[in-house]
């Protein structure tokens, strides 16, 4: 089976090089891996002690960040190596401050795994949430390197739990310990013979709780908001925006909106702006104007949405009309504000929980969106209660990082 797997990986590597000629994203994927080994050779010496974290993409990096920060504090003489599989993670976080070295993970061939581990020679390895690369895991086992899965989540539909999933079940045998998010994941692993499992919870809660301790102030948002009830729309897609624009255009003048779209390509930003009848300003246009005079503020930049959520009275989180569904609810939730989302959220445990406990409202059409926003803007008690539920939910679920560290250090 390893022969067939390695053949597929080799073919995929060849095809990716061809596709890269036509796809900018795949070109980043391919070109970014060309210098990995030389970078590792330059930045890591044979005498260095190292700890390696692997994240599939940006979401997994953010999920693992609290553990990375604690490991950095507990092992100050070790170098932290972070790898990404996808360009959407690497390109955004390649200049992060928690790692000493950040690179793409070379494709999962036996030779790549051996070369990578020879250069990095980690004492411990953490895979975040998922991505189980058989060659890397096999080499880690062969070299007796402690390997952990953190914030893991498993579902019955995965191949590990099917009659044909023996190859990947064997790959899991190379992991020393599983820290999973929920009891269902633990039971699924136990049902196939894994008992080195602990329900630690989701480290994302620790990350978003830590946001409250930092400086979230933004002078230009304060000027725009001007003590007016404000709805912050984060990570919106066109399907979200078509409903939101209709509501914005018929809303009262004593309500303001901040929109941070998922995609900030100029043509899409202009299309969004052109559909709004209210007085609208872009982040890129904000200099030397009185932002308080505007009702809609479109954020055509990245990296500040979390801070913007701290100014929200109500949050709308986009993605819920697409596949796989809604974006990150925990960032607005940690600020104790009510949240509105689209209908596709069932793949996300925190979204499902927040809807069930009524901190979050799921809407499926224009009428439901109008009702949700009218309720939250016109009824302060309802707005406060749902916000309190969201904030409490985050606080009650923190602590995964401490559980993981306690186990590792004892």
Catalytic residue from among 60, 139, 331, 350: 60
Neighbours of 338 (CB within 10 A): 27
Coil, helix or strand for 325?
Answer: coil
CA 391 to each of CA 181, 246, 329, 346: distance values in angstroms, whole numbers, following the listed order? 19, 29, 11, 21
Q: Give the helix/strand (H/E) hosting 100.
A: none
60 labelled catalytic? yes
Nearest to 197 by CA among 206, 209, 188, 205: 188
Count of H-run helices and E-run strands, the chain? 19, 14
Q: What is the DSSP string of 180-248?
A: ESSHHHHHHHHHTT---EEE---THHHHHHHHTTS----HHHHHHHTT-EEEEEEEE-HHHHHHHHHHH
Distance CA 156, CA 159 (A): 8
Nearest to 241 by CA among 319, 158, 356: 319
Distance CA 178, CA 175 (A): 7
Q: Hey, which residues are catalytic here? A: 60
């Amino acid at each position: 089976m390893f022969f067939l797997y390695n053949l597929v990986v080799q073919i995929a590597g060849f095809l990716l090089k061809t596709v890269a000629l036509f796809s900018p994203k795949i070109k980043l994927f391919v070109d970014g891996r060309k210098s990995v080994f030389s970078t590792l050779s330059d930045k890591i010496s044979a005498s260095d002690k190292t700890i390696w974290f692997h994240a599939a993409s940006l979401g997994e990096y953010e999920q693992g960040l609290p553990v990375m920060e604690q490991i950095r504090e507990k092992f100050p003489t070790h170098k932290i190596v972070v790898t990404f599989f996808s360009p959407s993670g690497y390109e955004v976080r390649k200049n992060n401050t928690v790692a000493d070295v950040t690179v793409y993970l070379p494709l999962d061939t036996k030779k790549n795994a051996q070369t990578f581990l020879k250069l990095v020679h980690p004492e411990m390895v953490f895979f975040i949430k998922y991505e189980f690369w058989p060659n890397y895991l096999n080499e880690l086992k062969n070299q007796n390197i402690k390997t952990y899965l953190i914030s893991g989540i498993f579902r019955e539909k995965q191949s590990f739990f099917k009659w044909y999933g023996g190859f990947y079940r064997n790959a899991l045998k190379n992991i020393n310990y599983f820290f999973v998010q929920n009891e269902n994941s633990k039971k699924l692993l136990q049902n196939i013979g894994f008992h080195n499992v602990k329900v630690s919870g989701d480290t994302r809660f620790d990350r978003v709780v830590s946001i409250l301790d930092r400086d979230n102030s933004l002078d230009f948002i304060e000027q725009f908001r001007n003590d007016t009830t404000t709805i912050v729309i984060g990570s919106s897609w066109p399907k979200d925006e078509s409903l939101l624009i209709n509501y914005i255009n018929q809303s009262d003048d004593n309500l303001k909106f901040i929109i941070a779209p998922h995609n900030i390509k100029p043509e899409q930003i202009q299309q969004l702006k052109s559909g709004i009848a209210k007085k609208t300003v872009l982040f890129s246009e904000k200099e030397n104007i009185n932002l308080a005079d505007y009702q809609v503020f479109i954020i055509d930049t990245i990296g500040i949405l979390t801070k913007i959520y701290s100014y929200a009275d109500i949050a709308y989180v986009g993605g819920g009309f697409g596949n796989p569904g809604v974006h990150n609810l925990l960032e607005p939730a940690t600020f104790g504000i009510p949240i509105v989302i689209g209908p596709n959220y069932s793949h996300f445990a925190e979204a499902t929980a927040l809807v069930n406990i009524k901190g979050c409202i799921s809407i499926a059409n224009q009428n439901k969106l109008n009702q949700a926003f009218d309720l939250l803007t016109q009824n302060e008690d309802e707005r406060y209660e749902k916000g309190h539920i969201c904030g409490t939910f985050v606080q009650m679920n923190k602590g995964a990082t401490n559980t993981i560290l306690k186990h590792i250090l004892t």
